Amino acid sequence: MPVVSVPYAYNEGELYVDLRPIFGHPLFVKCEGFNFAGSIKLKAATEMVESAERDGILTPESILVESSSGNLGVALSIIAASKGYRFLCVTDARGNLSTRMMMEALGSQVHMIAGQEANGGFLGARIEYVRALCDSDDRYVWLSQYTNPSNWKAHYRRTAPEIARQFPRLDVLFVGAGTTGTLMGCARYFREWHRPVRIIAVDSVGSVSFGGSPGRRMIPGLGMSMRPPLLDESYVDEVIRVEEADTVRTCHRLARRGFLFGGSTGTVVSGATDWLARHDARDLTAVAIGPDLGERYLDTIYQTNWLQDLYGEDVLGSDEVADGSWAASPAPPTRWDPAAESADRRPQARDRSGQRQG
């Protein structure tokens, strides 16, 4: 039984879900949400903070500041609360309300950027605000998940070796692309491994991480409105782009089977199952990294009004509706009648054959 004294000391790294019974393709999802931060970002946050402490950048008087759409902000909030640092998260309106409330409950301060940029994103404005803070007060320390090598090193040292131990015959690895820390750490590790592994990056349509035109993205997590500074495409074999509507449908399909995952996981699984459907995958060992769980998306991805306002009334196909809805609503309970209940419970006379009479 694990016993911890600090919240970042626990992170389940050996849990996988076999998705073949749901999607019909050989795919294992590595569940990275079973820690106190609820996402894979706890690994990067821990590595970045501990590296800054070793280098003397973080002191007791420091104020941590970071730009985050949500999950890294929660992870840093947990670490800051545990270690006694003050933390300010700079986010934007696309972030989930529950995520902001969680950060504030942990004692962090949250600043919302309201102004959207010409490319439809908020990232540039968030970074400008962080830089202005750092210029105004030396106490602010920006870890910069977008450029910090400790981001990818966390996954080179932990996530990829965890997968390698469990799947020594791994053929294909699907990794979501946000800051590309997870992608680069795992890709670098498996480039040095004893056998070739195909690295497939999964991005959101509307993201410009791998080029292309910017577009509207309403689900936080994956995708960037600028090219990720950590990205080295020479380590990536293929890129898959997933429409947000497909992310939503995948999340709901998983939920109808009891697995409530977050938007990033839904995107990666959607891209992975699409790729496997287009290839002969019968003899492949395929793993997808699932970065998050779904509780923080209850008021967005799993909320009907939010979905229909953004993606239309038909965003959930008939299969998802059929899997998750009763054919007819159950009748409302009738008013309790003690006399009727007493009558029902009275023993009934039986004839000699044992049949009830009347």
* Rounded average pLDDT over 212-234: 92
Distance CA 349, CA 202 (A): 69
What confidence tier does 325 reach under pLDDT thresholds 50, 70, 90? very low
C-alpha closest to that of 79 among 49, 58, 51: 49
CB atoms within 10 A of CB 56: 7
What confidence tier does 318 reach under pLDDT thresholds 50, 70, 90? low
Strand-pairing partners, residue 294, are: none
User: pTM here?
Assistant: 0.87
Q: Give me the chain's average pLDDT, please.
A: 89
Residue percentage of the chain with pLDDT more than 90: 77
Is the pLDDT assigned to residue 291 strictly greater than 80?
Answer: yes
For residue 352, what pLDDT is reported? 39
For residue 279, what pLDDT is reported? 95
Residue 305: both structure tokens together: 């009004």
Tens of pLDDT, residues 259-281: 999 999 999 999 999 999 999 98
For residue 348, what pLDDT is reported? 44
Distance CA 93, CA 216 (A): 13
DSSP type of residue 159: I
For residue 123, what pLDDT is reported? 86
* Rounded average pLDDT over 39-60: 97
Task: Tell me the residue type at 136.
Answer: S
